């Protein structure tokens, strides 16, 4: 099949400036952690990428280990880029990361220069790219000096293999330190990627202030709590869902009665707002202007279409926010 991108692809997306940088990101970005690996159906996820680009999603988020098997999401994405997006590279922000266990031995994990440089080279080969737009340290490393990890991120920019640097899951104090080190290398930290959703609010205890005060963008991952903040699990665990799949990172034990009770109550507020629960969960994150983008996953074109509709209503009444807080804090 031949893909012809929609001519109207930039009409409906909201773009937000990423911190104090030159880059605008779509308010919704697409992540390839699940559903784009070697175990998934190529023609199905290829259509999700088409749908995303047609809707103005210019930012695609990957990591060395996405699959399964690890690396296969990058390979698949590289194939799709070659088949369908050859003449659109300059319209895309492509990110990848290294930091989690990727290959055996002492040099395939965490944040050493040895690991990060080798991993980025491998990612570029898998995606058949000359450079990525954002290269992240995927997680803090308690053993490697921060200076080494940040110095390596700066090196990837200086050598042209990445255009910008990012960090993921660093807590507030370490983020401030990372920011200072990167600044000393004249390669500012573009963006932080934390887990943030109505069910995971740790970023509100300091990290968001560090990001806002230093002009670092924020892209919230797992905004739907891997599907728990949708109507998917309200009546049990459906077949084919992430919690039901052997390769999924959402464990059945995480679909707790307490979370489902909360999701049911939140779903009533979403209905009142004429939104699906997924749409409300995304809108709720975007109410904070410091959140540059919400990084969703999707296993179908229909899910992505549902999520995109959240952008038509990202405003909340104080009364709605109070009700939501009341449900979440119980």
Work out whether 267 is an interface residue with ligand NAP (CB under 6 A): no
> Which member of 64, 137, 149, 230 binds ligand NAP (CB under 6 A)?
230
When asked if residue 61 is in the footprint of ligand NAP (CB under 6 A), the reply is yes
CA dihedral 242, 132, 116, 156 (to 10 degrees): -160
CB count in 10 Å sphere of residue 131: 16
Q: Draw the binding track, 161-200, toward ligand NAP (x: CB under 6 A; -: no contact).
A: -------xx-----------------------x-------
Question: How far, in Å, are 16, 118, 149 from residue 112 at the CA level?
Answer: 32, 10, 6
CB-based contacts of 57, cutoff 8 Å, min separation 6: 13, 26, 28, 29, 30
Residues 281-310, interacting with ligand NAP (CB under 6 A): 295-299, 303, 306-307
Residue 71 binds to ligand NAP (criterion: CB under 6 A): no
The nearest distance, CB 220 to ligand NAP, in angstroms, is: 8
Is 255 an interacting residue with respect to ligand NAP (CB under 6 A)?
Answer: no
Q: How far is the CB of 52 from ligand NAP (least distance, A)?
A: 12
User: How close are the terminal C-alpha atoms of the chain, in Å?
Assistant: 50
Pick the closest to residue 301 from 7, 28, 55, 27 (CA basis).
Answer: 55
Please give the angle made by the CA atoms of 296, 56 and 71, to the nearest 5 degrees.
Answer: 50
- Point out which span in 4-12, 27-35, 76-84, 257-265 binds ligand NAP (CB under 6 A): 27-35
Contact residues: ligand NAP, CB under 6 A: 31-35, 61, 138, 168-169, 193, 221-227, 230, 232, 241-242, 278, 295-299, 303, 306-307
């Amino acid at each position: 099949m031949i893909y012809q991108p929609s001519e109207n692809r930039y009409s409906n997306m909201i773009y937000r400036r990423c911190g104090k940088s030159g880059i605008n990101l779509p308010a919704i970005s697409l992540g390839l952690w699940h559903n784009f690996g070697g175990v998934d159906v190529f023609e199905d996820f290829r259509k999700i990428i088409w749908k995303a680009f047609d809707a103005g999603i210019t930012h695609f988020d990957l990591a060395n280990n996405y699959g399964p098997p690890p690396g296969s999401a990058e390979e698949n994405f590289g194939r799709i880029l070659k088949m369908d997006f050859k003449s659109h590279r300059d319209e895309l922000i492509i990110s990848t990361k290294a930091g989690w266990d990727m290959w055996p031995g002492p040099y395939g994990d965490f944040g050493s220069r040895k690991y990060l440089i080798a991993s980025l080279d491998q990612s570029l080969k898998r995606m058949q790219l000359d450079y990525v737009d954002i290269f992240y340290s995927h997680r803090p490393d308690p053993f490697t000096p921060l200076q080494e990890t940040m110095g390596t991120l700066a090196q990837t920019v200086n050598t042209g293999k990445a255009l910008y640097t990012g960090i993921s899951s660093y807590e507030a104090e370490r983020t401030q330190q990372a920011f200072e080190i990167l600044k000393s290398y004249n390669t500012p930290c573009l963006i932080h990627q934390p887990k943030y959703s109505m069910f995971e609010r740790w970023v509100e205890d300091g990290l968001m202030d560090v990001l806002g005060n230093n002009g670092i963008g924020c892209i919230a991952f797992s905004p739907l709590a891997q599907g728990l903040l949708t109507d998917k699990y309200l009546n049990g665990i459906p077949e084919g869902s992430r919690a039901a799949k052997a390769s999924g990172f959402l464990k059945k034990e995480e679909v707790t009665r307490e979370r489902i009770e909360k999701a049911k109550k939140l779903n009533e507020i979403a209905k009142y707002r004429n939104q699906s629960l997924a749409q409300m969960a995304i809108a709720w994150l975007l109410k904070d202007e410091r959140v540059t983008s919400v990084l969703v996953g999707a296993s179908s074109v229909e899910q992505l279409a549902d999520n995109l509709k959240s952008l038509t209503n990202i405003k909340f009444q104080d009364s709605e926010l109070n009700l939501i807080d009341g449900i979440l804090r119980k």
